[in-house]
Amino acid sequence: MTVKKLRVLLVEASPDDAGRTLAKLEQCGYAVEHLRVDNAPAMQAALAGNGRTEGGWEIVLCSHDPSGFCGLAALRLMQSEGADLPFLFLSHDLREEAITHAIQSGASDYIFKDSLSRLAPAIEHSLREARIRREHREAQLALRELSSHIQDVREQERLNIAREIHDDMGGTLTAIKLDIAWLSERLSAQNPGLAAKARGIEALVDRCIASANNISRTLRPSVLDSFGLIAAIEMEAEEFEQRTGIPCPVSHADEGAALSPDTSITLFRIFQEALTNIMKHAHASQAKVDIYNRTDGVDLIVSDNGRGLNEADRLKPRSFGLRGIQERVAHFNGDMQISSTPGHGTTVAVHIPHTAAHLPAADGSLPQRTLF
């Protein structure tokens, strides 16, 4: 029989029962490393740092009998400590309601102490489930990081292209315009036909300049980098009002720290998505935006008085706007709330905390701007 290592946290008041459990584990081929605890502080100390260090506990085997530290209290303690370990109850009590209650409370399994024949298969099963849960969590995290990385790359590319268009193309077009103006002035006396042609070309160049400015602003609003988030949001809201006829006043208060460029572009993109949704889906006659930079973080709240949305709308398979907001906010350890009453509008609220991870470094290594 192959020997399998197993690190067990044994929550057990009875030394005899503990001895029988350990003997059974040994008989089933486990080389057990264990710690027996029988009260809350000892269990809390045993769980502290579990999972952060190599060699943490792999499983909790906990007595469910009334003597000593109560089983369900131990389960709740593990849950409140945020440890996600397989948790098996062992008990002399085989009443159905006790078993059901234990499983409903989050226990992985419930084993009868007087037989212990299910102990090894139950351990294997719960370890497998825990591994699947962990892999699922890790895959989700990797996906979130990938999505966030793609967003960052996309923003960087948009910024580069916007600058190229604005500085390089914009500069060249302006030079062409000046040359043509010079030509048409000189041609007007000798050759009015050619002068009219030159003025036509000048008008075309003007259109080209306007459209280059437009493209560059759509790619990256330069006002965001020069004047900050509030200015950019006010400008966007004004354009939205002109385009749609839906009033969108902006309220803001400035109390907190300066934002990193990453946070402000993220909030700006979230705002754009919320406005696009109002325009596309809400059938609203009024929208509004509140933005508060508080000491603990930034809150952005966009509301409308439109038709509202339901759970099915949020889960539409090919809709990525709200999901994208959720992912971006999660990347900054923030949160997003959508509240809606059908027929009475929608509110999208996001909170992004000020944390060291995305605030500009104290040495100023990130370009810090006063964004409010």
Ligand X SMILES: Nc1ncnc2c1ncn2[C@@H]1O[C@H](COP(=O)(O)OP(=O)(O)O)[C@@H](O)[C@H]1O
In 174-233, the DSSP E strands lie at none
Nearer CB in complex with ligand X: 183/349? 349
Q: Which residue is nearest to Mg ion (CB)?
A: 321
281's contact among Mg ion, ligand X, none, with CB below 5 to 8 A by partner kind, is ligand X
Order of strands across the sheet with 287-293? 250-254, 287-293, 297-304, 346-353, 335-340
Nearest approach in angstroms of CB 284 to ligand X is 7
95's contact among Mg ion, ligand X, none, with CB below 5 to 8 A by partner kind, is none
Nearest approach in angstroms of CB 321 to Mg ion is 3
Nearest approach in angstroms of CB 346 to Mg ion is 12
Q: Which residue is nearest to ligand X (CB)?
A: 321
Nearer CB in complex with ligand X: 32/349? 349
Amino acid at the residue 322: L
- Interface with Mg ion: number of residues (CB under 5 A): 2
Which one of residues 50, 63, 277, 340 is an interface residue with Mg ion (CB under 5 A)? 277
Chain residues binding ligand X by CB under 6 A are 277-278, 280-282, 304, 306-309, 313-314, 316, 319-323, 346
Q: Binding to Mg ion by residue 321, rule CB under 5 A?
A: yes
Q: Which of 254, 226, 221 is nearest to 238 (CA)?
A: 221
Q: List the structure tokens of 63.
A: 């007595």
Nearer CB in complex with ligand X: 200/342? 342
Nearest approach in angstroms of CB 201 to ligand X is 41
Amino acid at the residue 219: L
Nearest approach in angstroms of CB 348 to ligand X is 7
Q: Which helix (H) or strand (E) holds 180?
A: helix 170-190
Nearest approach in angstroms of CB 155 to ligand X is 19
| Residue pair 57/81 in contact by the 8 Å Cβ criterion | no
Considering only residues 197 through 216, tell me which ones interact with Mg ion, judged by CB under 5 A.
Answer: none
In the chain, the DSSP E strands lie at 4-11, 30-37, 59-63, 87-91, 109-112, 250-254, 287-293, 297-304, 335-340, 346-353
| Residue pair 216/170 in contact by the 8 Å Cβ criterion | yes
Nearer CB in complex with ligand X: 225/290? 290
CA distances from 332 to 132, 137, 300, 335 (A): 26, 18, 14, 9
Number of residues in the chain? 372
To the nearest 10°, report the CA torsion of 159, 163, 169, 173: 120
Question: Could you tell me whether strands 297-304 and 346-353 are parallel, antiparallel, or unpaired per DSSP bridges?
Answer: antiparallel
278's contact among ligand X, Mg ion, none, with CB below 5 to 8 A by partner kind, is ligand X
Nearer CB in complex with ligand X: 46/270? 270
Nearer CB in complex with ligand X: 262/304? 304
CA–CA separation, 47 vs 35, rounded Å?
11
Amino acid at the residue 331: H
Nearer CB in complex with ligand X: 182/320? 320
Nearest approach in angstroms of CB 273 to Mg ion is 6
316's contact among ligand X, Mg ion, none, with CB below 5 to 8 A by partner kind, is ligand X
Nearer CB in complex with ligand X: 272/368? 272
Nearest approach in angstroms of CB 320 to Mg ion is 8
269's contact among Mg ion, ligand X, none, with CB below 5 to 8 A by partner kind, is none
Write the CB contacts of 169 (distance below 8 Å, at least 6 apart in sequence).
212
Q: How many CA atoms lie within 13 A of 173 on its CB side?
A: 20
- Of 286-294, 304-312, 313-321, 334-342, the window that binds Mg ion (rule: CB under 5 A) is 313-321
- Of 193-201, 287-295, 321-329, 342-350, the window that binds Mg ion (rule: CB under 5 A) is 321-329
307's contact among Mg ion, ligand X, none, with CB below 5 to 8 A by partner kind, is ligand X
CA–CA separation, 304 vs 248, rounded Å?
9
Nearer CB in complex with Mg ion: 43/325? 325
CA distances from 243 to 116, 125, 223, 286, 313 (A): 72, 59, 19, 14, 25
CA–CA separation, 26 vs 31, rounded Å?
6
Q: Which residues bind Mg ion (CB under 5 A)?
A: 277, 321
